[in-house]
Amino acid sequence: MADFKIIKAKETMTSRERVRKTFEYEKTDRVTIGYEANHFINQKFLKALGIKAEELWQAIGWDYIGVKPVYTGKELFKEIEDRVVHEEYGFVTRWVGNSSGGGYMDFCDFPLKDADDETIMNFPVPDPDDYNYDVVGEKIAKNRDLGIYIGDPGFGDVVNSIGMLMSMEDAIVNIYQEHEPTLYLVRKRANWKLGMLDRILTKYKGEIDFMWLGEDLGTQIAPMMSMEQYRKVIKPIHMLFIDLAKSHNVPTLIHTCGSSSWVYEEFIEMGMSGVDTLQPEAINMTPKYLADNFGGRLNFRGCISTAGALTYGTAADVTNVCKETLETMMPHKGYHFAPTHLLQDNTPVENIVAMYQAAHDFGVYV
């Protein structure tokens, strides 16, 4: 028997309609809803609701689903004992548990740490032709009423993905120094992903509702780089993805952790459609600051902090935070209700229930 149930608001739109109208700042029946969680807490949440994984979309009003092709090419990276090597990216990870009973696959054994120039430049990258794209169409066909996105919160990024290969320290130093072999690898990896996206957008024209990208741009208190550095090194890569999306009339949403609003005016000028994460505890990232400065010009996704009441408060605290956030964001429209990151293993289940109940209680447009 289920311990909890979320009472959903009356819905007069499909999720796909809701997502598309949200990106256009048009009035919807309720806010668009997103959900991301670690495996362990997700299983606890499903058990508390008394449902199966495939029923969660309907139970909480989750509005979109990602689609991607399946890699069918040759082996690019050798297996390593007691490690997981990503078959496309080459990242090396290991399981690190936590006190809540869950854990993470943590990055380790960085294959390009202290690597010479030739090794960096010749690091393997998949060919966009070495994928099965039919599986994308199959997933779209099974989810016609949901919003459909390509990419993910880490897709197309520069700092984080290169850091996963050579350590964040080496990545930041090499980018700062404009180390050509590193930038060559950045461009090579971007072209691989652009090739994948272009094939999906062309093959399934009109079926994709947004492109989701990612980039690490801020610490909790300040930018990770200067605007000059961003414009010179990172912006040209971001523009490739934005231009591709625009050519297919698809909006772009970018995941940026920490204090990232310093670059939002630049995003607007570039044609970026929206920003994701929006950690309210970081400098210049509160819902009010974002709404006052960028409301109606950028879609916002997130703001419900996984480092605040959701994890450390009561269910009543969560309800209040969600209500206040919705009251601040909804007048500008273009708001996607979601956590700032994956829901963490130490989050009380009743707080997750309170979060999504608040979306239905206070996220209705009248």
Distance CA 335, CA 295 (A): 9
Per-residue b or e along 314-347, where b marks 16 or more CB atoms closer than 10 Å to that residue's CB? ebeebbebbeebbebbbebbbbbbbbbbbbbbbb
pLDDT of residue 323: 98
The residue segments making up the domain with residue 178 are 15-77+117-362
Q: Which residue has the tokens 């490739």?
A: 240
Whole-number pLDDT of residue 278? 95
CA distance 327 to 15: 21
Q: What is the DSSP string of 102-130?
A: -EEEEE-S-TTTT--HHHHHT-----TTS
Q: Indicate the residue type of 85.
A: V
R_g (Cα) of the chain, nearest Å: 20
Closest CA to 352 of 30, 121, 37: 37
H-run or E-run covering 317: helix 315-329
Assigned token pair, 52: 């199966």
- In-domain check, residue 351: yes
Tokens of 265: 């005016």
Q: Which pLDDT does position 3 carry in this prediction? A: 87
For residue 82, is it within any domain?
A: no
Transcribe 249-272 into DSSP letters.
T--EEEEEESS-GGGHHHHHHHT-
In the prediction, which pLDDT does 314 show? Answer: 98
95 within some domain: no
Is residue 45 within 8 A of residue 17, CB to CB? The reply is no
Question: Is residue 38 within 8 Å of 7, Cβ to Cβ?
Answer: no
- Helical packing angle, 159-166 and 168-176, nearest 10°: 120
**Cα 49 to Cα 1, 46, 58, 339, distances in angstroms:** 8, 5, 12, 19
Query: Is 123 within the bounds of a domain?
Result: yes
Task: Decide if 166 is inside a domain.
Answer: yes
| Cα–Cα distance, 155 to 255 (Å, whole number) | 9
**Token code pair at residue 102:** 């869950």
Instruction: Name residue, tokens 């809803």.
Output: 33
Q: What is the domain-level CATH number for residue 301?
A: 3.20.20.210
- Inside any domain, residue 108: no
334 part of a folded domain: yes
Spell out where the chain has E strands. Answer: 32-33, 64-66, 70-71, 84-85, 92-97, 103-107, 131-132, 147-151, 210-216, 252-257, 274-277, 299-304, 335-339
Round to whole Å and give the CA distance between 182 and 172.
Answer: 10
Amino acid at 95: W
pLDDT for position 1:
55
Cβ-in-10-Å burial (0-12, 13-18, 19+) of 264 comes to: buried
Provide the CB-side half-sphere exposure for 47 (13 A, CA).
8
Give the chain's domain count: 1
Q: What is residue 2's predicted lDDT score, i.e. its pLDDT?
A: 75
Residue 42 is predicted with a pLDDT of 97
Q: pLDDT tens for residues 158-204? A: 999 999 999 999 999 999 999 999 999 999 999 999 999 999 999 99
CA distance 291 to 149: 25
Instruction: Determine the length of the chain.
Output: 366
Is residue 355 a part of any domain in this protein? yes
Point out the residues of the chain with pLDDT beneath 70. 1
